[in-house]
Structure 1
Amino acid sequence: MIRTDLRYHRPGTPREAGALLAGHAGDAVVLGGGTVLLPMMGRAEITARHVVDLRGLGLDAITEHAGHVEIGAMATYRHLYTSPVLARRVPLLSRMAVGITGGEQIRNLGTIGGSACFANPSSEVPAVLVALGATLRLHGPAGYRDVAAAGFFGGAFATDLADGEFLASLLVPHQQGRTGYHKLKLCEGSWPIVTAVATADPERDGAAVTVGAAQAVPARIELTALLSGDGGLDLGSVDALVRRQIDDPWSDVLADGTYRREVAGAVVRRAVTDLFEGPNR
């Protein structure tokens, strides 16, 4: 049950939002789309007394810049997969968003920034951001600071956000090469068991895969050593490599760590197959 003495705040500027979060540090939460936060508050899993709603800050724009796209943290999944900028410059984000777990309601309300900050290991978002080399732009009492996605996720449901900070936007480089994407789920509406994003680096003839949901934070695994002379990949060696790299597998009610580690190789192989044989995206 949501507490009855809840205080709702809707700041009009980033500075005001930061001041509210800093002034109520430890007793304030940020409201984005609310698809995760509100159910958790209803179950008394989150008992903060102050809710800071960022919807008045205009943080849902998707803007193209030289070499990267800036995505407001409040952009919903629908914003992502209907954006012509992302379809042209970062099509992997469009592909992820249209297939996000939860169906139409989540696509309409859920935000990419909320998913990043919730940092559920089973979410599709963390691994995709790490694979794309995204940067997260945080706003706090000292102004803005940028953190690479690979350093933002600090563990299960843990991030680099400090007191008084919130995620303002995400800076995502234009995709330069092909990508492959695959995820394993128990059913359409469940969180993924394992996700995999395979990427090719045309500048150095390399390849890598970022595995999500298999451990508490995304694992980036270099695949270049497995490339064959004709540009393909030695798929037979993938399973052993992935098992070595997933050294601290994540367990929850959907699947234990042992299972996640065992199936991760198969998910990676399918992402790699998509990388080399699927549409050029």
Structure 2
Amino acid sequence: MFTIERVLQPATLEEAYQVLNAHVSNTVLGGCAFLRLGSKKIGTAIDLSKLNLDYVLEKAEEIEIGAMTTFRTLETNPTLRECFNGVLPKAVSPIIGVQFRNIVTVGATVYSKYGFSDLLTALLALDTEVELHKGGRMTLIEFLNKSYPKDILTRIFIQKNKRRASYQSLRNSSSDYPILTVAVSELDQKWRIVVGARPLRAQIATKASEALSQSKLSAEDIGQAAALAAEELSFGSNIRGSAEYRKAICPVLVKRGIMEVLQCK
């Protein structure tokens, strides 16, 4: 359970940023879905719903997604269904249920860097950048690998190219959190293999990606790259699965992802 002393709906991002940094307990609200799972006392809760950050905008060279965009919007947006073989809608559609996806926001999920995030796994397989109000624009990889002062994620950008992509996940049940997630993509014969919910945060398997990119994509090459992904990444245990189990199923999901990308138009 969480408690809130005050709620603010700022008129500008700068106002929201100033209030956020005025006290350590001040917090930006997203959909609040995951706040409900913990215990937190919030001084001032900052609601960004009046800042027009709920949108998906297709531009000539990129797709821009506002921070307050919900997972349900990602799931149903026609542009995202067409781009990258619909990898983003496919990644978010298994999550809990429609009511849940109607409140969970892109900005809160990406900024929080959740280890179980289906969305982060898919976004890492694409050419994604994030924008912070004060920190500016940077690649998603850079954002995930560094710590930043308290800031507000305003939007994400995905380069609109011909990258082919696939998303795979394993769950104990269709509405449960994932045991393991995998996203695979290819552009100009350069492959990218991403594994998430390890239960650590999603990470690119760089050695496996490079090996696959340099291979002839034979059945043996694909099997070796899938096995290499499991070897180079670390895995942990939680109530959904052991580290050993995750490591064992990783090559299976990676191989499925590669084979699906090869079938994409």
Query: After TM superposition, is the score higher than 0.5?
Result: yes
Structure 2 counterpart of 1:148, one-letter code: T
Whether 2:108 is the aligned partner of 1:114: answer: yes
Task: Tell me how far apart the structure 1 counterparts of residues 163 and 139 of structure 2 sit (CA, whole Å).
Answer: 20
Call closer, same or farther: CA 1:49–1:258 in 2, change over 3 Å. Answer: farther
Task: Tell me how far apart the structure 1 counterparts of residues 79 and 226 of structure 2 sit (CA, whole Å).
Answer: 36
List structure 1 runs of 4+ shifted beyond 3 angstroms: 226-233
- Structure 1 residue aligned with 2:194, among 210, 218, 242? 210
Structure 2 counterpart of 1:176, one-letter code: K
Q: TM-score, normalised by structure 2?
A: 0.89
- Structure 2 residue aligned with 1:261, among 244, 247, 253? 247
Structure 1 counterpart of 2:221, one-letter code: D
Q: Is the 8 A contact 2:10 2:46 kept in 1?
A: yes
Q: CA deviation at 1:137?
A: 0.5
Call closer, same or farther: CA 1:244–1:102 in 2, change over 3 Å. Answer: same
Task: Tell me how far apart the structure 1 counterparts of residues 103 and 192 of structure 2 sit (CA, whole Å).
Answer: 32
Call closer, same or farther: CA 1:119–1:250 in 2, change over 3 Å. Answer: farther
Task: Tell me how far apart the structure 1 counterparts of residues 83 and 252 of structure 2 sit (CA, whole Å).
Answer: 29
Whether 2:165 is the aligned partner of 1:179: answer: yes
Structure 1 counterpart of 2:166, one-letter code: G
Q: What residue number does 1:223 align with?
A: 209
Where structure 1 has 5 or more consecutive residues not aligned to the other structure, the ranges are none
Call closer, same or farther: CA 1:231–1:53 in 2, change over 3 Å. Answer: same
Q: Is the 8 A contact 1:214 1:264 kept in 2?
A: no
Where structure 2 has 5 or more consecutive residues not aligned to the other structure, the ranges are none
Give the root-mean-square deviation of aligned CA atoms: 2.2
Matched residue count: 261
Whether 2:219 is the aligned partner of 1:235: answer: no
Q: Is the 8 A contact 1:136 1:148 kept in 2?
A: yes
- SS of aligned partner of 2:41: coil
Q: TM-score, normalised by structure 1?
A: 0.84
Task: Tell me how far apart the structure 2 counterparts of residues 83 and 239 of structure 1 sit (CA, whole Å).
Answer: 31
- Structure 2 residue aligned with 1:193, among 179, 184, 208? 179
Q: Is the 8 A contact 1:126 1:153 kept in 2?
A: no
Of 101-110 and 231-240, deviating more is 231-240
- Structure 2 residue aligned with 1:67, among 61, 70, 90? 61
Task: Tell me how far apart the structure 2 counterparts of residues 62 and 240 of structure 1 sit (CA, whole Å).
Answer: 37
